[in-house]
């Protein structure tokens, strides 16, 4: 009888131990992080790779991704606490800083290092030169956003005055630009991928130049958080950045076809060949950052682009709203 009691007690203790261990492992222990991305785009392929290849999960993070169209709306969600991390153009953090925010938004991990738009011509032109844009109707991006500013910066460097040399249309919402061009508006349009590849496959024209190549390297799209969130969640931010570094290296070492297969879950309504074409175009021009570090040369080029657009009140030193601590640690420790 005593043996049975001891056996029963032992079994109960074993069961309790397994229950405790089960409670300590798995997703139940993962730290929840809510990301808000400004748009769903192949331009952000490394982000989707970090999710599909479980790089966030391996770091002990439970990441919830939502798309919040528009930089202003994404930033509002971040400032209000509706999301923890925003993936958006770094110019938005500058705008918040210029407004004198008590809790500034800090850039901590760069995802893309070039503008992601292309100059798309309605009439295919194998001998394109920038002077052909003069006298045309140009369907551009929303004023004050990075695509528009990178576009204006490029046109200026090509000797094109948008006020005198062409008819510029930029009063169409981002989501409706492609539709406007498809319906006959404009001789040229500034497009992201995969829309550019879709239009090429439909015979609507041809990509003739890259604003990303022409405007140079800059911290175009960056993961950012409020300073208060980062100070309270240093470990979480480091793990997050580690996952991004792993994803960036994965993208670097894999083909456009392999990357497409890894991200198709997020583009289930887009033809795989189009996704492959878009990723290939971005890889060929070094659009995807190879590490999360934002260097001073890139930051100063960004300031030049914003200043040219008349949207910069003062040149904000990177040290004010860039924290490379996490990115540098991730770059040095993950190979």
One domain, residues 269 and 152: no
One domain, residues 207 and 58: no
Q: How many CA atoms lie within 13 A of 87 on its CB side?
A: 27
pLDDT at 15: 39
pLDDT along the chain (335 residues), means of 10: 42 41 55 96 97 98 95 95 97 94 96 97 95 96 87 95 93 90 97 94 97 96 98 98 98 98 96 96 96 96 94 93 98 95
In a domain, 203, yes or no: yes
Q: Which of 215, 247, 271 is the last residue of a domain?
A: 215
In a domain, 14, yes or no: no
Q: Which of 169, 187, 215 is the last residue of a domain?
A: 215
Distance CA 88, CA 279 (A): 19
For residue 169, the enclosing domain spans 117-215
In a domain, 20, yes or no: no
pLDDT at 12: 45
Q: Tell which residue, 315, 205, 333, 265, has the closest CA to residue 45.
A: 265
Query: Residue 173 — left, alpha, or beta (φ > 0 → left; ψ -120 to 50 → alpha)?
Result: beta
One domain, residues 107 and 127: no
User: What's the CATH number where 148 sits?
Assistant: 3.40.190.10
Structurally, the chain folds into a number of domains equal to 2
């Amino acid at each position: 009888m005593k043996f049975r009691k001891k056996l029963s007690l032992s079994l109960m203790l074993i069961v309790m131990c397994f229950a405790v261990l089960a409670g300590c492992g798995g997703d139940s222990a993962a730290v929840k992080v809510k990301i808000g991305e400004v748009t769903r785009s192949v331009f952000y392929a490394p982000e989707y790779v970090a999710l599909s290849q479980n790089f966030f999960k391996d770091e002990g993070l439970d990441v919830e991704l939502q798309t919040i169209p528009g930089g202003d709306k994404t930033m509002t969600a971040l400032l209000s606490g509706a999301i923890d991390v925003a993936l958006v153009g770094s110019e938005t953090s500058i705008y918040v800083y210029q407004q004198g925010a008590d809790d500034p938004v800090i850039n901590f991990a760069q995802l893309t290092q070039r503008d992601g738009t292309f100059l798309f011509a309605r009439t295919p032109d194998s001998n394109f030169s920038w002077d052909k844009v003069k006298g045309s109707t140009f369907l551009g991006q929303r004023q004050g956003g990075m695509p528009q500013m990178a576009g204006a910066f490029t046109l200026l460097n090509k000797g094109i005055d948008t006020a005198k040399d062409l008819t510029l249309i930029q009063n169409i919402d981002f989501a409706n630009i492609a539709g406007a061009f498809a319906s006959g508006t404009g001789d040229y349009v500034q497009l992201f991928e995969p829309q550019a590849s879709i239009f090429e496959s439909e015979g609507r024209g041809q990509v003739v130049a890259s604003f990303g190549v022409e405007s140079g390297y800059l911290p175009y799209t960056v993961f950012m958080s409020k300073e208060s969130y980062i100070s309270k969640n240093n470990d979480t931010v480091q793990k997050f950045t580690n996952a991004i570094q792993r994803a960036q290296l994965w993208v670097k070492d894999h083909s456009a076809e392999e990357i497409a297969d890894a991200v198709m879950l997020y583009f289930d309504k887009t033809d795989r060949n189009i996704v492959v074409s878009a990723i290939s175009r971005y890889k060929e021009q070094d659009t995807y950052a190879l590490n999360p570090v934002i260097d001073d040369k890139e930051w100063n080029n960004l300031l030049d682009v914003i200043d040219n657009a008349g949207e910069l009140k003062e040149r904000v030193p990177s040290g004010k709203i860039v924290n490379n601590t996490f990115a540098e640690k991730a770059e040095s420790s993950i190979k």
